[in-house]
Copies of this chain bind each other. A is one copy, B any other.
Amino acid sequence: MLATGFLARRTVLNQPAFNSWSTLLRTARKRPTSTVAARVPLKLQSQQQFTRAYSSSKTMDTPADVFRGITDRFAGVTVDGREENVDKSSFRDKLTKSLDFWTTNKNRAIWFRVYKEQADWVPILAENGFDFHHAKTGVVVMYRWLPEHESSNLPTYAHTLMGVGGLVINEQDEVLVVSDRFAMIPNSWKLPGGYVEPRENLIDAAIREVAEETGIRTEFRSVVSLRHAHGGTFGCSDMYVVIALKPLNLDFTRCEREIARIQWMPIAEYLKHPQVHETNRQFVCTFLDYQKRGLTLTCRDEVHQVLKKKYNLYYVDREQPQEQQDKKNS
């Protein structure tokens, strides 16, 4: 059932109000005037019932001088700046009245999505006990935890940057390496790669980065290794995933903006080259070991049973019975 799926993992954790935010992003239920219903856990006996309840939405009346917002089933309220019609001069007054209403109503986490053009809301929200939660181009999200005798435990925003590197080896046992134009140490050789874009899958990101930087089109072979480190760019942690790729063409087209040099370097040279970082050597050794052992750290596309959302599963591929392998190869 759902509770072991990726939604359920989020809805519980340590944070009572966590559900609210999670639910809220997917539903459009308006804040009820009473939160009794909102605080009763849904008693759903089947996925069918769940799916119905989850996708249902109700619009409730709220006083005209209170922000409408969207309420989740854990009595949180999110006010989206684009959905609220209020000029700057009346913002402060409406906020005061809304906070009174929400407090009486026993609402819990109050979230404000403030758009760049509403930046003058920010100091007023800060004066009223709101803090920053996260932001991206065009919008900052501020929150206030209303219950006074309970700690908030709201989840922090994402703090992990995802990057990928492509380990592209051709049939002549040569590795595709690049020297970055703006490299900290010129003349050093690294794997082509870069950041995973929002909503992009790891393998797609590796294939895209290799193509952008080198013009080499590739297809997936195996995930090789993950490197996880802390205290990087923007104070984030980062996860760098190396993915082995098979080249579909051999003549590279250098991305002049980013790349100073490209070459196919024989593996033997790569493994002892003074301008190749030790970790990258390990990636190659690891992949060679996988090849020797017939291992693939693979990826499978799946769709969530209930949410109908796509996800990718990465795992070491099952050993196939010899007859199946023969069939596949024939």
Contact = CB atoms under 8 A, between A and B. Distances in A.
A253 interface: no
Interface residues of A, number: 125
Within the oligomer, what is the number of copies of this chain? 2
B279 A198 contact: no
A63 interface: no
Contact of A313 (B5, B47, B137, B282): B282
Interface in A253-292: 257-258, 274-280, 282, 286, 289-290
A173 interface: no
Contacts of A159: 158, 162, 198
A289 to B, nearest CB: 6
Nearest to A226: B314
A4 B194 contact: no
B236 A3 contact: no
A160 B18 CA distance: 17
B184 A3 contact: yes
- Interface hub of A1, A194, A237 (most chain B Cβ within 10 A): A1
B286 A305 contact: no
Contacts of A44: 184-186
A288 B259 CA distance: 44
Interface string A10-32: 11111010110110010000000
A311 B81 CA distance: 41
A119 to B, nearest CB: 4
B277 A12 contact: no
A162 B165 contact: no
A240 interface: yes
A321 interface: no
A8 B227 CA distance: 14
Nearest to A240: B6
Given A6-B238, A202-B228, A1 B140 contact: no
9 contacts: A10-B163, A25-B233, A41-B183, A119-B127, A123-B123, A133-B135, A159-B162, A227-B312, A228-B312
Given A9-B163, A10-B163, 14 more contacts: A3-B179, A3-B185, A4-B279, A9-B194, A16-B257, A41-B182, A42-B184, A50-B185, A117-B126, A135-B140, A136-B156, A198-B237, A239-B239, A282-B313
